[in-house]
């Protein structure tokens, strides 16, 4: 809230002020660029902060929806045992390697 309500408007005003002063030939161009860079850096930080907040909120909401603190419920049926024979694939160092 502080970014949106205070910091970004001030940076935008400072940027506009410096551009206006430059147009009146009362400010050097590096100062205009510095104000513009600061404004854009603050805008990027605001977007990153929003991304972090919303990502965290969605993760928490997901935990709440799926009972993240509860033990998982078993819904799958048990695997049936088959009576097929599994071939022995053990090879000892003294034996030659079998061909596939």
* CB half-sphere exposure, 36, CA atoms < 13 A: 10
| Segment 39-64 mean pLDDT | 86
In which band, very low, low, confident or very high, does the pLDDT at 82 lie, cut at 50, 70 and 90? low
pLDDT at 64 over 90: no
> For 11-43, what is each residue's pLDDT tens digit?
999 999 999 999 999 999 999 999 999 999 999
**Helical residues (DSSP H) of the chain, grouped into ranges:** 2, 8-23, 29-65
Q: Residue ranges per domain, the chain?
A: 2-65
Query: For residue 1, how far is the Cα from the chain centroid?
Result: 20
pLDDT score of 13:
95
Give the span between the Cα atoms of 47 and 42, in whole angstroms: 9
């Amino acid at each position: 809230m502080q970014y949106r309500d205070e910091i970004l408007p001030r940076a935008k005003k400072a940027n506009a002020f410096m551009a206006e002063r430059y147009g009146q030939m009362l400010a050097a161009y590096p100062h205009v660029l510095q104000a513009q860079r600061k404004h854009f850096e603050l805008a990027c930080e605001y977007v990153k902060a929003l991304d972090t907040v919303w990502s965290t909120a969605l993760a928490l909401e997901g935990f709440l929806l799926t009972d993240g603190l509860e033990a998982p419920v078993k819904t799958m049926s048990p695997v049936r045992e088959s009576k097929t024979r599994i071939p022995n694939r053990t090879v000892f160092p003294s034996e030659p390697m079998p061909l596939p």
